[in-house]
Amino acid sequence: MQIHPRAIIDHAALRHNLACVRRRAPDSRIWAVVKANGYGHGMVEMGTTLETADGLAVARVEEGVRLREAGITKPILVMEGFLFDDELAAARAHGFELALHRPEQVALLEQTRTTRPLRIWIKVDTGMHRLGFDPQQVPNLLARLSADPQVAGPVGLMTHLAKADDPHDRLTQLQCDRLRALDPAAHYPLSIGNSAGILACPASRTPWVRPGIMLYGASPLIGRTAAELRLRPVMRLATRLIAVRALRRGDAVGYGSTYVCPQDMLVGVAAIGYGDGYPRHAPIGTPVLVGGRRAPLIGRISMDMINIDLRGLPTARVGDPVTLWGADLPVDEIAQWAGTISYELLCRVTSRVRMEHREMHPMPHGGKRL
Ligand SMILES: *Cc1c(COP(=O)(O)O)cnc(C)c1O
């Protein structure tokens, strides 16, 4: 029997969630976002199953290179663009589409003369104030880049939403209006919607959208569960009980003795901890599933183990499966307990956790599973 923590990755759920994006934004083309190792699910495996997306989006050139090396031939958008000319050269060699967000990138692009024109997206800062050009700079840039033989096809305009997780916040509509105002005649491809925008803000359903978290089956919206949004979790993080102990009233459990048994009680120990990516900040009371039934954590999270209050589960046995998140235990709920967001929990599952891919289509010819 396998006691290693495992992340079971449900590719049927991934395809279902992609279909949800299509239903919500039927007129949009989809950049499926697979950055950060596919939000922790395996970038190449996600990219392979997302073959019916129109393209894949990553943050960095290096991530795109890994997709190409695995045999993926779809369009790839690099959302942070490039920093130095070696990255620009790699982007050209692999035919990536690049988002440009500062003047030095434009200058570098114009300096290097090659026979391989690139597709370019101008990243516009419409209110997030992280990356991007000011809207006033855009008309000039559009003219410059559109005339540049280094640039293939129409230049795209993209922006990123800062507060779309809150459907009542007016900034989202304002950001959409600011981007759309730059292209009143609809000459250029626009890209706004992230998952939250796609679900809650129609103005962000531009000709290209960039969903990430919803593909993996977590909710991007405050106060809405993934189940309400008809999304299915792609990852189940699971392990097993490796001990069941009968402790006495007054016994303190784990590092720091933070939990003291209020009565004689059964306590389970499961083989997973922060060394596997389970959040160390998950407090006493955070739920897990033991054999499919809820039980609360007690004590501190260790590197390799967690303690579980088994008072409600007197028949629990060593070897029983323990689910940390997945169907019936939304990762969003665990994130809330741990004071973070699903994105972080999913991304930081460590390489010590074995990834098991279920219902995966064959890899592209020559592709190797990473
Ligand atoms: C990560 C990212 C996305 C996807 O966001 P989700 O909230 O996961 O849907 C879209 N666009 C950009 C620029 C990103 O960095």
Tell me, what's the pLDDT at 339?
97
Any atom of ligand 1 within 6 Å of the Cβ of 220: yes
Any atom of ligand 1 within 6 Å of the Cβ of 132: no
Distance (angstroms) between ligand 1 centre and the Cα of 344 equals: 13
- DSSP structure string for 160-213: --SSTTSTT-THHHHHHHHHHHT-TT--S-EE---HHHHHH-GGG--SEE---G
Is 188 designated active site?
Answer: no
Any atom of ligand 1 within 6 Å of the Cβ of 210: yes
Q: Which amino acid belongs to residue 177?
A: D
Query: Widest CA span of the chain, in angstroms?
Result: 78
pLDDT tens for each residue of 217-270: 999 999 999 999 999 999 999 999 999 999 999 999 999 999 999 999 999 999
Pair 21, 30: CB distance under 8 Å: yes
Cα distance between residue 214 and residue 196, in whole Å: 8
Pair 39, 346: CB distance under 8 Å: yes
Pair 77, 96: CB distance under 8 Å: yes
pLDDT at 364 over 50: yes
**Single pTM value for the model:** 0.95
Strand-pair partners of 31: 55
Distance (angstroms) between ligand 1 centre and the Cα of 172 equals: 14
Is 163 designated active site?
Answer: no
Q: Which of 95-104, 115-124, 286-295, 352-361 has the lowest mean pLDDT?
A: 352-361
Q: Which amino acid belongs to residue 150?
A: Q
The CB density around residue 367, as the number of other CB atoms within 10 Å, is 17
pLDDT band per the 50, 70, 90 thresholds, residue 95: very high
Distance (angstroms) between ligand 1 centre and the Cα of 243 equals: 41
| Lookup: tokens for 178 | 């600011």
Any atom of ligand 1 within 6 Å of the Cβ of 164: no
11-216: CATH number: 3.20.20.10
Domains of the chain by residue range: 11-216, 235-358
pLDDT tens for each residue of 36-74: 999 999 999 999 999 899 999 999 999 999 999 999 999
Cα distance between residue 117 and residue 109, in whole Å: 10
Give the CA angle between residues 320, 17, 120 to the nearest 5°: 130
What class does CATH assign to 235-358?
Answer: mainly beta
Sign of the torsion formed by the C-alpha atoms of 247, 248, 249 and 250: negative
Instruction: Write down the mean pLDDT value for the chain.
Output: 95
Average pLDDT over residues 333-361: 95
Distance (angstroms) between ligand 1 centre and the Cα of 33 equals: 7
pLDDT tens for each residue of 192-232: 999 999 999 999 999 999 999 999 999 999 999 999 999 99
Strand-pair partners of 308: 268, 297
Atom 1 (ligand 1) nearest CA:
212
pLDDT at 363 over 60: no
Tell me, what's the pLDDT at 4?
82
Any atom of ligand 1 within 6 Å of the Cβ of 38: no
Give the CA angle between residues 191, 194, 199 to the nearest 5°: 115
Q: In the block, which residue shows the tokens 């209006």?
A: 177
pLDDT tens for each residue of 310-337: 999 999 999 999 999 999 999 999 999 9
